Amino acid sequence: MGKTAIITGGGRGIGRAITLALAQKKFKVVVTYVTRRDCCEQTATDVRNLGCEALVVQADVTKRESVHQLISTATEKFGTVEVLVNNAGILQQKPFNTINDEDWDTMLATNLKSVFLCSQEIMPVMVRQGGGSIINISSSGGQLGGMLAVHYAVSKAGVISLTRSLARVGAPDGIRVNCVTPGLIETEMSQKEIHSEIGQQKIGKEIPLRRAGQVEEVATAVAFLASDEASYITGQSINVNGGLYMG
């Protein structure tokens, strides 16, 4: 029997690429969405065309009850969940002095609280089955800071810190926790930035490889961390950023 992976926000962008990369490794996949079921269903169809099982679940990963139901649905369907990819996230760019309380709370809930909730709910399952792998998607913004997305940068920095803490918590039970930190990656969410003056300057002057990354390049790193080949790796942040941040 193949292993099972849950990918939050796995229907499009980086999440879709991760879902397909894991399916190519013969994982059964559980893909979550909030509103865009059509994207998830198409991704699930593509997974099935690869000969793997796929389950689409609506889940608000900022709400514990919804996360609990997600984990229950996944385990009822597939029995075990060996891998959790905390990918769901949002980006909002606006000057710091215009960020309001709702902006801040929504950003932290979606990008950071969701990782806390999903990890806390899945860990007892992984303990019972003798181990597992949690992979969190952060961002180079969490390492560098961001003038036009301060609340985003803070949320993603929190993901990196949470990853390190959970790696220590999970290690005695065979649970590995790692982080992938993409830089400027070509997705629907990043198109505005890539084609802006600031984005072009970043590509031309700040990224040594002089290009934006592709979603498949992020997915490859996630698939490696999910595999047995990464069995001695935990608490790490794998940078997929063309050299934008070296650390």
Catalytic residues: 152
Say how far apart CA 193 and CA 26 lie, in whole Å. Answer: 34
User: 39 Cβ partners below 8 Å, 6+ apart?
Assistant: 11, 12, 16, 33
**Closest CA relative to residue 139, chosen from 233, 231, 213:** 213
* DSSP structure class, residue 205: I
Question: Cα 64 from chain centroid?
Answer: 18
For residues 164, 169, 172, 178, the Cα torsion angle rounded to the nearest 10 degrees is: -30
Strands 4-7 and 175-182, bridge-based pairing = unpaired
CB atoms within 10 A of CB 199: 16
**Closest CA relative to residue 85, chosen from 51, 48, 122, 139:** 122
Q: Which helix (H) or strand (E) holds 225?
A: helix 215-226
